[in-house]
Amino acid sequence: MVPIVSSTFDIAHWFLQRGELGQVYISPLKLQRLLYLAQAYYAGQHDGQPLMPSIFVVSEVGPLEPNIHRAIEHEPPKVSVRDIPEETMDFVEMIWSKYGERKIDALNRLVLQDPAFRETEARDGLQAIIGLDVMQRHYTPKKAAKPAQRIPERLPDEIPDFLADIIAAAREEAREEEARSKATPDGGSKDLATWIPGAPTSS
């Protein structure tokens, strides 16, 4: 699939500029965290499409884009960058709002527990490439649970009729029992209220 931007430096530069704007220091390692999360989230939300033409590998300090890491290890490089496409701005802003102001320790813990990183590390070890397919699998948004099946509209009408039938049958049975009781030698009778709660008592 074709990446959205033509160079990873376009996204890296945007994060560095955004940090300056918000007076948030973006260290080389923190930039790596933001780049990885941006790539993983984008792949998950867009059927495995890469945001950048980047390759992230397993390292002892978490997922790293090795080329960017070397290029900015000591100071920002002097490279030409292009504007991020307008339709992608909301996405990178989302990444920034979610992770941009987090402390580096928190981001380190996050990526070291990252499921795509851990799966690749366990399977292939250090220097293994964390594939877009693995990112997509772990970062695809979970589908919302299907709503409960709608109760048919006719059911509310059936319920009163059903209960009415039960009540009518119970009352009829109570009357028959009362008639039988009056016919017994002791003349005993069973009050209707005994059968049907709320029914008027016999006087």
146: in domain? no
Pair 127, 159 in one domain: no
Q: Is the pLDDT of residue 129 over 90?
A: yes
For residues 167 and 169, what is the distance between their CA atoms, to the nearest angstrom?
Answer: 5
Identify the pLDDT of residue 23. Answer: 95
Is residue 66 in some structural domain? Answer: yes
Residue 27 confidence (pLDDT): 93
Please tell me whether residues 135 and 161 are part of one structural domain.
no
Residue 1, in any domain of the structure: no
pLDDT one-digit tens code per residue, 8-45:
999 999 999 999 999 999 999 999 999 999 999 999 99
Do 69 and 123 lie in one domain? The reply is yes
Give yes or no for residue 203 having a pLDDT over 70: no
Whole-model pTM? Answer: 0.71
Phi, psi of 7, rounded to the nearest 5 degrees: -145, 140
Poorest-pLDDT segment among 70-74, 82-86, 170-174: 170-174
- 151 or 179, higher pLDDT: 179
Same-domain check for residues 95 and 34: yes
Q: Would 202 be classed as within a structural domain?
A: no
pLDDT of residue 183: 59
Find the helix or strand (DSSP H, E) in which 63 lies.
Answer: strand 62-64
Residues 107 and 32 in one domain: yes
User: Residue 91 in contact with residue 37, Cβ under 8 Å?
Assistant: no
Residue 156 has pLDDT above 60, yes or no: no
User: Do 111 and 34 share a domain, yes or no?
Assistant: yes
Residues 94 and 183 in one domain: no
pLDDT of residue 148: 62
Q: pLDDT band for 142, please (50, 70, 90 cuts).
A: confident
Beta pairing class for 57-59 and 62-64: antiparallel
58-90 burial, b for 16+ CB within 10 Å, e for fewer? bbeebbbbeebbebbeeeeeeeebeebeeebee
Range of the domain at 169: 155-195
Nearest to 65 by CA among 20, 100, 117, 17: 117
Q: Which of 70, 68, 63, 71 is nearest to 129 (CA)?
A: 63
126 inside domain: yes
Question: Does 189 reside within a domain?
Answer: yes
Residue with tokens 């009357």: 175
**Does residue 118 sit in the same domain as residue 174?**
no
